[in-house]
Amino acid sequence: MTSATIVTAAMLAIGDELLSGRTKDKNIGHLADMLTMVGIDLREVRIVADEEQAIVEAVNALRSRYDYVFTSGGIGPTHDDITADAISKAFGVECIHDPNAMELLGAMYARRGMEFTDARKRMARMPIGARHIPNPVSTAPGFAIGNVYVMAGVPQVFQAMLDSLLPNLTTGTPVLSRTVRSPYGEGDIGAPLAEVQKNHPDTSIGSYPKFDGRSFSTDIVIRARDAGVLAAAEADVAAMIEAISRSRQST
């Protein structure tokens, strides 16, 4: 087996609306998909309210523990957008109207004949020294400081920022996966599947029940960073289901 490089990440989704139920988050699942694809392991997600102390605590806990932290939400122009301040506080640096962001936004509003209001100027605020994350959708940039990447909460903007960001990240060996569908519920496959997992320690085998309103079936997902290791485990899972099927037909 070749040695695998492991790169870890966490996400912090920020916003009262996610906790009140008003907005159903779409960014967590998207980030999870994209990171899995490029070979970064998403290890933890937190959702907190638009409250400075909660954001500071969460971002400091996560950035010390994982290689990357991605945040969503709270970087717009209104009074409840406090993410730039909170991130600055977490890093112990000043939150400023970034000169490059001011120029970028000023030029954009001038082109559109719109007033560059104080509210709009809030979108240029970021910790001093932060790098920009380009925003091809609506100009106002996200920003990165240290290993923390701060993006918008609006899914189209979050996705565009992530797209411009991903090529520049250090990535690891991607986790490959195969899904084997089992017509049997978890109660039937539990014991033999645990045996398969034991015989393939370099894989992670997950079992996901589906309920159609009457009965349970199961998706068995095998994950590994090595294609050969993955294929061997997949074959054993398929053989296991075959064996259950044969034993049922013979009784």
Query: Closest CB to its own copies among 132 and 223?
Result: 223
Burial class (CB in 10 A: 0-12, 13-18, 19+), 203: buried
Q: What are phi and psi of 240, to 5 degrees?
A: -60, -45
Site string for its own copies, 160-179 (x = CB under 8 A): ---------------x-x--
Q: Binding of its own copies at residue 42 (CB under 8 A)?
A: yes
- Looking at beta carbons only, is 67 or 186 nearer to its own copies? 186
17 binds its own copies, rule: CB under 8 A: yes
Q: Does 136 bind its own copies (CB under 8 A)?
A: no
Residue given tokens 């209104």 in the structure block: 78
Helical segments of 122-185, H only: 155-165
Footprint on residues 82-111 left by its own copies (CB under 8 A): none
What's the DSSP call for residue 4?
Answer: P
User: At its nearest, how many Å lie between its own copies and the CB of residue 129?
Assistant: 25
**Closest CB to its own copies among residues 62, 133:** 62
**Residue 45 sits in the site that holds its own copies (CB under 8 A):** yes
Residue type at 70 in one-letter notation: F
113 binds its own copies (CB under 8 A): no
93-96: Cβ within 8 A, 24+ apart: 93/127, 93/128, 93/129, 93/145, 94/127, 94/128, 95/125, 95/126, 95/127, 95/128, 96/125, 96/126, 96/127, 96/128
- Quick one: which segment of 125-133, 152-160, 163-171, 237-245 binds its own copies (CB under 8 A)? 152-160
Q: Is 187 in the site for its own copies (CB under 8 A)?
A: yes
Q: Which of 56, 66, 51, 64 is nearest to 10 (CA)?
A: 66
Query: Per rule CB under 8 A, is residue 202 in the interface with its own copies?
Result: no
User: Which member of 119, 227, 235, 243 binds its own copies (CB under 8 A)?
Assistant: 119
